[in-house]
A = this chain, B = another copy of it.
Amino acid sequence: MDDAYGLAVTVQKAPECADKPESVDLSHHLSELAKARISSPLKSLYKYFNKPGMLSLAGGLPPPDYFPYESITAQTLAKNSFKTTEQGFAAWLWSLIAGAKKTDEWSIPKWDQDKSRVQLSSAFQYGTAAGLPPLAQFIYDFTARVYRPATSDFHCVINAGSTDAWGKIVTTLCNPGDGVLAEEWTYPSALATAWPNGIKPVALPMDGDGLTVDGMDHVLANWNPQEHDGMQRPRVLYTVPVCQNPTGGTVSLERKRAIYELAVNYDIIIVEDDPYYFLQSGEYKRKRSVSTTKTESDEDFLASLVPSYLHLDYQGRVVRIDTFSKTICPGSRLGWTTCNPVFAERLERANESSTQAASGMSQALVGSLLAEQWGYSGYLRWLKGIKAEYRNRRDTLVDNLLDVAHASLDVREASAGVYEVSRRSSEKFTSQSEKTRPLMSFVAPVGGMFGGWASGRVLALYADCSSSALCYFPARSSPLVPNDNRLALYPPPATTVWLRVHFSEHRQFRSTPTPELLMSLWEDLAEHNVLIVPGTIFSAAAVGQSLASSDSDASADGYFRISFSSAKPDEMGEACKILAQRVERFFRE
C-alpha cells in the first residue's frame, strides 16, 4: 500500500441549488471514532502538488507506463434496449427471446489529450477518496437534477457500494452502546454491519406503506433509557423508504414530510438507503396488456417517483445512499453518499483509511458509460427501461400466482390492488361464510424486487381456524398475537407485508419453537426445489440470533420473503404451484 493523497474533488456547483439554504451545524452527531480520524498531514501541502514545472520525488505512484492495460473497450447495450411502451408477460417474454440487442462499442485509452476525460493513466492510478473527477461531476449533477436537494451545500462522496457506505456512516454517527432506529423488518446486512460495533437496532413499527409516523413518534416520545439497558434515545434512523427490502412497502411523500418533521423535532439523522428508487413501477393491474405509443418524458418519469428525503431536507440531516448495483451491476461495487459537507469530509477520511478510493476500474467503466457515452438523458432512458422490465416481472409473478390459485381457489379484488383468495365451494368448507372467507390476500407491490407470496406488499397465509384443517386469512383481519415479542416488537398492522405463515395450528406448535417450524417448512420447500428467504433474517429485533434460535419462542406467525428479480416466467409459475402444495402438506402432516 502507499500514499493516496486525499485531494477533495472540486465539482462544479449546480445553478439550481444556489438559492437554497445551507445545512445547519449537525457536528454534535459525529462519533468519537469520526472525530478521532486523522486528516492527512500532507493536506496543507496540496497546493504544490499540481504546480507547473514541479520535479516530484515525493509520491509512491507507479508510472502508468507500467500498467499492463493500454486500452479497455466495452461493448454495451444501447440505452433504449428495453421497451417502455408495452407491459406484462408478453413484453417481458419478448425482451427475453428478442435475441441480440443493439450495442455500442467505446474505448477508454491509457492517455487522452483532453485531461478531463476518463483515461486509464489516471483512473487506474491511486485516486482521491472522493472519486474520479468525471464520474464525481456526473453524480453531483445527477443528484442535483433528479433529487433536487433542499440545501445548497450537499456533497456527494463516491463509495465502494452501499454496505461499505452504511458501515462508514453508522460508525461516523454512532458510538458503541448507541442504538439505531430501523424498520422492524429490514435489510439484515445493515444490522450485521452495525452490530459488532456495539450499535444495536431499535425496531420501529411499519405498515404496508413502510415506517409509520405514529409508531416512530411513540417510540421517541416515550423513550426511557432504563427500559433499554441504559441506551439513550437513538439519534440515527436507518430506513429503506422505497420498495422496501423485504416488505416492498413505499413511503408516500406526505408520510415522508411527517417523518422528516419528527426527525427535526427529535434531532434525528435520517439515513436513506434507496437502491430501488428507480424501480417504482406503479400499481399492478390483473392480466394487463397495456400498450402506449411513446416512452414517458424525463419530467413525467421523475415526477412519477416519490421524492427522496433529500428534497425535503432543509437542514442537511439526511444522508442518502445511492448504488449502481440495481441499475448498472452489483459487481461495480460502486455508489455514492449524499450528505452535508461536515459528514462528507469525515466520510472521505474514513475512505482514506480503508478502501481509499472505490475501484478505479469500476469508476472508469461506469464513469465513461454514464458521463461520456449516455449522459444524463441517456441514463434516464436506461432507467426507464429497467423499471419497465421489473414491472413486467412483477406483473408476471402476480398473474401466475392468481392463475395457480384458480386451480382450487377463487380470487377477487377486495379493494384497489388488494386481492383475496378463497377456497372453492367444492372443498371441505361448504357453508356460505366459510366459502367466502378468504384464505390468502396480498397487495401487489408497487415496485422493487421483492414481494410476499406472489407479490409481497401484503400477503398473509394463516392457519388459525379452530379446526385442524389448513385455512388462510387475509392479513388485515389477523388477530394480534400477544406474545409475539421477538419476531416483531410491534405486530405488523393488518395492511402489512409479505408471506405470513401461522404456525399455531401445526401439531408441533407447542413442542417446537416457531423459528424451528419456519425453518422446517423452508427446508421442505428447498428440498422440493423452491428457494425463498425465511423472514427471520430480516427481523431488526432478532439480529445476532440464529435462524432457529433455541430460546423458546411461542410466536404464532412466521414470514417468508419472495423475490421476483431473477426467476424466469415458467419458473415463477412452477414455484408458486409447489409452494402451495408443500405448505398445505406441511400443515396436514
Q: Does B354 contact A164, Cβ atoms closer than 8 Å?
A: yes
Q: How far is the CB of A402 from chain B (nearest CB, A)?
A: 16
A331 CB contacts on chain B under 8 angstroms: 120, 123-127, 357, 359-361, 363-364
Contacts known (A76-B68, A571-B55); A160 close to B163, Cβ less than 8 A: no
Question: Which 5 A-B residue pairings sit nearest by Cβ, starting from the closest?
Answer: A331-B360, A1-B162, A359-B359, A124-B331, A193-B353
Q: Say which residue of B192, B530, B567 sits within 8 Å of A352 (CB atoms).
A: B192
* Bound Cα distance A55, B163 (Å): 27
Q: How close is A396's CB to chain B, nearest CB, in angstroms?
A: 12
Q: Which of B44, B360, B389, B450 has a CB less than 8 Å from the CB of A332?
A: B360
Contact A124 B193 (CB under 8 A): no
Given the complex of chains A and B, what is the CA–CA distance between A126 and B189 in angstroms?
14
Contact A70:B76 (CB < 8 A) given known A55-B531, A55-B575, A356-B161: yes
Give the distance to chain B from A361, nearest Cβ to Cβ, in Å: 4
Once the chains are docked, how many angstroms separate the CA of A408 from the CA of B4?
Answer: 37
CA distance A365 to B77 in the complex (A): 20
| Docked CA distance A62–B275 (Å) | 12
Partner of A197, one of B33, B72, B571, B572: B33
Given contacts A69-B365, A354-B167, A566 and B196 within 8 Å (CB-CB) = no
CA distance A330 to B60 in the complex (A): 11
Which A residues have a C-beta under 8 Å from some C-beta of B? 1-4, 33-34, 36-38, 40-42, 44-45, 48-49, 51, 53-77, 81-82, 95-96, 103, 120, 123-127, 160-164, 166-167, 187-190, 192-193, 195-198, 245, 273, 275, 321, 323, 325-326, 328-334, 352-365, 369, 382, 386, 389, 449-450, 522, 526, 529-533, 536-537, 543-544, 546-547, 561-567, 571-572, 574-575, 578
Query: In the bound complex, how far is the Cα of B331 from the Cα of A126, in angstroms?
Result: 6
Name which of A59, A60, A331 has the most chain B CB atoms within 10 A of its CB.
A331
Give the residue of B164, B273, B353, B571 whose beta carbon is less than 8 angstroms from that of A355.
B164
Report whether B163 and A58 are in contact in the complex, using a CB–CB cutoff of 8 Å.
no
A177 to B449, CA, bound (A): 44
16 A–B pairs (Cβ distance < 8 Å), ordered by A: A2-B325, A36-B198, A41-B188, A41-B536, A48-B526, A49-B531, A55-B575, A63-B565, A69-B329, A124-B330, A124-B332, A161-B356, A163-B354, A192-B352, A359-B362, A361-B362
- Residue numbers in B under 8 Å from A326 (CB-CB): 2, 62
* Closest CB in chain B relative to A332 CB, distance in Å: 6
Residue of chain B at shortest CB distance from A536: B41
Shortest CB–CB separation between residue A170 and chain B, in angstroms? 10
User: Given contacts A125-B331, A197-B33, is CB(A190)–CB(B1) below 8 Å?
Assistant: yes
Q: Are B531 and A125 in contact (CB under 8 A)?
A: no
Distance (whole angstroms) from the CB of A198 to the closest CB of chain B: 8
> Which residues from B are CB-within-8-Å of A166?
1
Residues of B within 8 A of A125 (CB): 329-331
- How many Å lie between the Cα of A51 and that of B529 in the bound state? 8
**Would A531 and B54 be within 8 Å (CB), given that A333-B359, A356-B163 are in contact?**
yes
Given contacts A2-B330, A2-B449, 6 further A-B contacts (CB under 8 A): A51-B529, A58-B531, A62-B449, A66-B389, A167-B354, A330-B360
Query: How distant is the Cα of A329 from the Cα of B123 in the complex, in angstroms?
Result: 10
Interfacial chain B residues near A361, Cβ < 8 Å: 331-333, 359, 361-362, 365
The answer to whether B386 touches A55, judged by C-beta atoms less than 8 angstroms apart, is no
B1 and A57 within 8 A (CB) = no
A171 to B190, CA, bound (A): 19
A160 to B357, CA, bound (A): 10
Partner of A53, one of B33, B95, B529: B529
Q: Within the assembled complex, what's the spacing in Å between the Cα atoms of A240 and B126?
A: 20
A60, A67, A571, A572: most-surrounded residue (chain B CB, <10 A): A60
Task: Note all chain B residues with C-beta closer than 8 A to A522.
Answer: 45
The answer to whether A1 touches B163 (Cβ under 8 A) is yes
- CB neighbours (8 Å) of A75 from chain B are 69-73
Expressed in whole angstroms, the Cα–Cα distance for A361 and B360 within the complex equals 9
Q: How far is the CB of A32 from chain B (nearest CB, A)?
A: 8
**How far apart are A397's CB and chain B's nearest CB, in angstroms?**
8
Q: Contacts A73-B72, A365-B69, A563-B60: A1 and B55 contacting too (C-beta < 8 A)? A: no
